[in-house]
Structures are given as C-alpha cells and as structure tokens.
Amino acid sequence: MTRHIIVGSTGDIGSAIHATLSESAEIWSFSRSSEPKHDGHHYFLDLSVPFDTSVVEDIFKDIDEIESLIWCPGETLFGMLEDTSLKKVDAQYNISIRSLITFVNVLLPKLKRSRDGRIIIITSVWGRHGASYESAYAAMKGAQESLIKSLGKELADTSVTVNGIAPGVVYGNMTSDLSESDQAFLLQELPQSRFVAQEEIVHAVEYLLAPAARSVTGEIMNINGGWYT
C-alpha cells in the first residue's frame, strides 16, 4: 500500500496535495490546529515548540514502509528583525527546521524500504532571494534549502530523493485576505500578472513522486511565474 505523510496538511497547498494523493494512496496527515479537510489518518501536533522523536516514533511504530514525507507547514512573520522577539524566531526555527529534522530522522528507515522514497519540502521564493520585513522567515526557508541540497547528496546512494518546491505568490486564503487594491499592486509586480494556482504546486509534487524522477535530487523547483529566476 502506498503511504504518504503530509505535514501541514490543512493549509492551502497541503490540503490541495492531500486531496489529489488521497485518491490513490493512504494519507497520514499532521496539522497544528485545523480540522482535516480530507479523509485519512490525522494528528494534531504543534510544530512551533520542540518535541521529542518519541512523539513521532509512537505514531508510526506499526508502519514499516512509507513512500514519501511531504513537508508543507509555514507561518508568516512580518516585521523588522530588530523588532522580532527571540520567541518568534524560535517558533520559526522549530516549524521549518527542528521539527522537519525530527520527522526525517524517524521516517528515514521507513522511506529507505520503499523503491522510490521521497522527501519533498515546500519552501518559498523568499528562501531563495531574501525578503525585507520577513528576514527571520526567509532565513529559515533558506536553511531548508541548504538541508535539501545537503541531504540529497547524503542519501544519493539510497532509493530516497530529497527535493524542494519554492512557490511564489500562490492563490489561496492569504491572497484572498488582501484588499483589492493590495492584490492589484502585487499583481503588477508579477511578470505573468497572475497568482500561482495551487494545482501547479500539486503537479510538481506528483512529478517528483514519480519513479521517472528518481535521478532528480537535491534540487529546488522554482514556481513563481518568472518573478525571480
């Protein structure tokens, strides 16, 4: 049975991935607080605070093999770095790096048992290029990118690939919460004058999951409509 682990499964991107993959696979999903929108095994876990590997080990103790870990969580943090509390910095680190490494360390033996094990991390355009007023958030996304490249090399002699997807502005709750004038201003900045559709991110995930993508590892896929190249 094909099993996918989706962490951050109730956000726009995570939910869209969940909806597509659940048609043909068993999904184990995790979110911080929101109720799941799709069927599957669901667990609530606050990624913004440290937790021990035993928490994850206990959940998967009876599972020998999984096909993928898809990492989607993220929490925006706006403001000058000098005004950002260390508590908020710690939360960003826990969400983007510490909890990710915890899941990887627990699930890696199970991923290696699959012929086509996959680790796919949804990062951000800001992790690639930096973002004024989002320095802490961008820094953690940049750290994810370094982890993807390093772990891709580290696992190259196994059946597990490690890749990232760096979206630009994706249409969803965050963009719909903006005023019409703010959306219009943002669209003027985008070369294609359109927001990225969630389905485009899902399509990239499906490609990376496919056996034909077994030679793609340590890569970051840009999906931003030519905004940053």
Domain ranges of the chain: 3-221
Q: Where would I find the H helices in the chain?
A: 12-21, 53-59, 86-93, 99-112, 125-129, 135-154, 173-176, 180-189, 198-209
- Which among 206, 163, 170 has a CA at the least distance from the CA of 21? 206
What SS3 class is residue 24? coil
pLDDT over 90 (residue 184):
no
| Residue 21: band (very low, low, confident or very high) from pLDDT cuts 50, 70, 90 | very high
User: What is the rounded CA–CA span in Å between residue 108 and residue 126?
Assistant: 27
Q: Of residues 4 and 76, which shows the higher confidence score? A: 4
The reported pTM is 0.93
Q: What does the pLDDT read at residue 100? A: 98
Q: What does the pLDDT read at residue 190? A: 81
Q: How far is CA 106 from the centre of its chain?
A: 17
CATH number of 3-221: 3.40.50.720
Q: How crowded is the C-beta side of 71, counted as CA atoms within 13 Å?
A: 31
Summarised one tens digit per residue, pLDDT across range 64-95 is: 999 999 999 988 888 898 988 999 999 999 99
Summarised one tens digit per residue, pLDDT across range 144-166 is: 999 999 999 999 999 999 999 99
User: What is the rounded CA–CA span in Å between residue 120 and residue 161?
Assistant: 8
Q: How is residue 124 annotated by DSSP?
A: -
Tokens of 69: 């870990």
- Which among 120, 121, 112, 97 has a CA at the least distance from the CA of 156? 112
